[in-house]
A and B are shown apart, each in its own frame.
Chain A
Amino acid sequence: MTDVTLTINGEERSASVPPETSLLRLLRDEFFLTGSKLGCDVGDCGACTVIVDGLPVNACLMLAGQVDGRDVVTIEGLATLEDLHPIQKAFEEFASLQCGFCGPGVIISAKGLLDRNPDPTKEEIKDALSGNLCRCTGYTKMIEAVQDAARILRGEKEAA
């Protein structure tokens, strides 16, 4: 068994798991954080995207042992008790998600982008979302929502 202690959404968590356990399985099976989805388990679809030390990664491709001592943000860590994250809000307002299965991964990828680049071009947004497959939406309303959320985060537009 591998002992892991890491920070998830600002709180320190520990678990003891078999060494082959992926970060995704750790989040879903040990901590019941089921927002990150298993869509392919080999890093093709991006439904399991989480932020590790500030960068979006496919949680299915990382071993639990590799995140020992590191900082992980999942979809569950974006909203507060009082409010949605501006990206989540924009995704709702624009109806950017249909079946929703890819949604947590897409929103996390968008957050990863906006954390680093608060004023991305459309091409940069497309680039940032290119690892997240979506079969429902054609990505159009997602891109619009990320642009809108960026404006709100930059203080150029008031949140609804």
Chain B
Amino acid sequence: MTDDVKVADKTDSLTDLKETDEDLRLPSVVEPAHFPVETIDTEARHQTPAVGQRATRPDGRLHGLGQTKYIDDITFPNMLFAKMKRAGISSALIKSVDTSEAEAMPGVAAVLTGREIPVNSYGPSYQDQPVLADERVFHAGDPVAAVAAVTEQIAEEACERIKVEYEPLEPVYDPVEAMKDEIRVHPPHSNIYATKRIKKGDLEKGFAEADRIFEGVYSTQMIEHVPLEPHASIAQWDPNGRVTLWSSLGRITLGRADIARTLDMPINKIRIVGTIVGGNFGGKNEITTEPALALLSRKTGRPVKMVYTREEEFIASTTRHPFIMEYKTGVTNDGMITARKVRLVLDGGAYCSWSETTLGKACILSAGPYNIENLLAEAYCMYTNKTMTGAMRGFGAPQVCFAYESQMDEIAHKLGIDPLELRMKNAFHEGSASPTGQVLQSVVVKDSLEKAAERFGWKEDGQ
């Protein structure tokens, strides 16, 4: 027999099997892909000294191969899928939640409401956010119940069959309106839930020394982080009363304490495994669905997974604070800043989340990287019945930078000074005192101005 015949025989018999015997069809779980066993060793990873090397990322290789396992890529036997019923109303009292129809649906394993959460509140600064809203709804994206079912689709259909009776309350959306405290988001608490003040020098004296006063009001919008991987978690409750959570959370140690608090459990009975996170940008800095999934897993004895839809990523996760920023700045005719007064109003959304940190950073940074002897910066953060705002890349710094740098530009144009020169004149130097009186070190503002100007060709004609 020749080799050709052998091959032909083999092929024929395989084809026969496929066509005649359904049971012998190859199971679909056979992985067809070939992953490289060889590694390409990029030089920088092997160099010493290690610091300063353009070393490649081992996780980068797995990303490119599609091998990184994000939460949605992880499956366990008998795993259930969870969905949450969203309020869709921005301010209301919850009169009743009827889950009976959902629970009766085939394929539904468990339904969870806020009243079943041992301690139904959480948050990194104030614990003002319910895991599942039980008495009151604070914004339209609030979850009011969670369902675990054998498929996502059944869980979603079950959510639609949960009947919630609301008593609508008057909402407040505008932070300036909210500041009046006529309509309170979290009664009896004031809507102004965080304030910050930085005071330095003598403001009146500073403005008196100025030749020109510039005033402006700047505002910024609400922005979503848009991580490409939505928030996701899997919970597995075990028969020893321990729960393991695979989560897209970016701060697992502190998240574990938050979860322990909501579940009223010892910390050592909770394990969080942080998987590779598909984008964070500050948006995955607090727990979300983890406590609810843990309880659904306990109710069912099965692992439970939930992945936010893209819509939930927008309406039920944190966002960037909209800011309203009042700036008043005194300058001399040759462009030296003598005084600056800043007032910031932050739309804090329905819950505090990381607003305190955002407010603090924004307030401290609001004067810009400039030597200003006489300064007053005040910042206020307001509850409104909108999606909660929280940490997002820069914690308020991009907002205030838009304001102080827009005003610097205006000052430069009005005084007829080159914008680069105006900044060089006022910029921090080594040993400058910050607005909080901190003596600054390793200060390179001017170097960065010069370097960027050189790279851009700022001083060249026709630019």
Touch A–B, Cβ below 8 Å? yes
Q: Does A103 contact B (CB under 8 A)?
A: yes
- The answer to whether A9 touches B36 (Cβ under 8 A) is no
In the bound complex, what is the Cα–Cα distance between A23 and B91 (angstroms)?
A: 40
Which among B96-104, B107-115, B158-166, B222-230 touches the partner chain?
B222-230
- The answer to whether A133 touches B310 (Cβ under 8 A) is no
- The answer to whether B70 touches A35 (Cβ under 8 A) is no
> B229 to nearest A CB, angstroms?
4
Q: Does B266 contact A (CB under 8 A)?
A: no
- The answer to whether B60 touches A79 (Cβ under 8 A) is no
From B60, B67, B225, contact of A95 by CB (8 A): B60
- The answer to whether A15 touches B227 (Cβ under 8 A) is no
- The answer to whether B42 touches A92 (Cβ under 8 A) is yes
Work out how many contacts link A and B, with CB atoms closer than 8 A. 152
Residues of B25-55 contacting chain A, CB below 8 A: 25, 28-29, 31-38, 40, 42, 54
In the bound complex, what is the Cα–Cα distance between A77 and B98 (angstroms)?
A: 48
Q: A15-B28, A37-B228, A41-B309 are in contact. Are A97 and B63 (CB under 8 A)?
A: yes
- The answer to whether A47 touches B228 (Cβ under 8 A) is yes
From B29, B59, B225, B228, contact of A102 by CB (8 A): B228
From A36, A38, A101, contact of B279 by CB (8 A): A101
> Smallest CB-CB separation from B34: which chain A residue?
A81
Mark each residue of chain A from 56 to 69: 1 if its CB lies under 8 Å from any CB of chain B, else 0.
00000000000000
- The answer to whether A84 touches B277 (Cβ under 8 A) is no
From A13, A74, A99, contact of B66 by CB (8 A): A74
From B32, B42, B230, B279, contact of A8 by CB (8 A): B32
- The answer to whether B36 touches A104 (Cβ under 8 A) is no
> A160 to nearest B CB, angstroms?
6
Give the dominant DSSP class at A's interface: loop
Residues of A38-66 contacting chain B, CB below 8 A: 38-42, 44-45, 47
Q: A79-B34, A102-B228 are in contact. Are A31 and B28 (CB under 8 A)?
A: yes
The count of chain A contact residues (Cβ–Cβ below 8 Å) is: 57
Q: A14-B28, A84-B36, A160-B40 are in contact. Are A95 and B66 (CB under 8 A)?
A: no
Q: Does B68 contact A (CB under 8 A)?
A: yes
> Smallest CB-CB separation from A94: which chain B residue?
B56
- The answer to whether B277 touches A99 (Cβ under 8 A) is yes
> Chain A residues near B25 (CB, 8 Å)?
14
In the bound complex, what is the Cα–Cα distance between A88 and B40 (angstroms)?
A: 11
- The answer to whether A99 touches B227 (Cβ under 8 A) is yes
Choose among B25, B35, B54, B228 the residue with the greatest number of A CB atoms under 10 Å from its CB: B228
- The answer to whether A83 touches B32 (Cβ under 8 A) is no
Give the dominant DSSP class at B's interface: loop
Q: Does A134 contact B (CB under 8 A)?
A: yes
Q: Does A107 contact B (CB under 8 A)?
A: yes
- The answer to whether B63 touches A89 (Cβ under 8 A) is no
Mark each residue of chain B from 54 to 91: 1 if its CB lies under 8 Å from any CB of chain A, else 0.
10110111111111111011010000000000000000
> Chain A residues near B169 (CB, 8 Å)?
none
> Chain A residues near B65 (CB, 8 Å)?
35, 75-76, 78-79, 84, 88
From A30, A89, A95, contact of B40 by CB (8 A): A89
> Chain A residues near B28 (CB, 8 Å)?
13-15, 30-32
- The answer to whether B310 touches A104 (Cβ under 8 A) is no
Choose among A47, A91, A96, A134 the residue with the greatest number of B CB atoms under 10 Å from its CB: A91
> Chain A residues near B118 (CB, 8 Å)?
none
In the bound complex, what is the Cα–Cα distance between A38 and B72 (angstroms)?
A: 8
In the bound complex, what is the Cα–Cα distance between A101 and B72 (angstroms)?
A: 11
From B56, B67, B279, B280, contact of A93 by CB (8 A): B56
> A131 to nearest B CB, angstroms?
13
> B346 to nearest A CB, angstroms?
23
- The answer to whether A135 touches B61 (Cβ under 8 A) is no
> B137 to nearest A CB, angstroms?
26
Q: Does A82 contact B (CB under 8 A)?
A: yes
Residues of B1-31 contacting chain A, CB below 8 A: 25, 28-29, 31
- The answer to whether B34 touches A39 (Cβ under 8 A) is no
> A108 to nearest B CB, angstroms?
9
> Chain B residues near A78 (CB, 8 Å)?
65
- The answer to whether A79 touches B32 (Cβ under 8 A) is no
- The answer to whether A107 touches B310 (Cβ under 8 A) is no
- The answer to whether A84 touches B229 (Cβ under 8 A) is no
- The answer to whether B60 touches A100 (Cβ under 8 A) is yes
Q: Does A138 contact B (CB under 8 A)?
A: no
15 chain-A/chain-B pairs, Cβ below 8 angstroms: A32-B31, A34-B66, A37-B229, A39-B310, A40-B310, A45-B310, A47-B228, A76-B32, A79-B34, A81-B36, A95-B57, A99-B229, A100-B59, A101-B278, A160-B40
- Chain A residues packing against B (C-beta within 8 Å): 8-11, 13-15, 28, 30-42, 44-45, 47, 74-84, 87-89, 91-93, 95-104, 107, 133-136, 160
Given contact pairs A35-B67, A107-B64, a sample of 11 additional A-B residue pairs in the complex whose CB atoms are under 8 Å apart: A9-B33, A36-B66, A39-B310, A76-B32, A81-B35, A83-B40, A92-B42, A99-B63, A99-B278, A104-B66, A133-B228
- Chain B residues packing against A (C-beta within 8 Å): 25, 28-29, 31-38, 40, 42, 54, 56-57, 59-70, 72-73, 75, 225-230, 276-281, 307, 309-310
Q: Nearest 5 pairs between A and B by C-beta?
A: A35-B66, A100-B63, A101-B278, A76-B33, A75-B66
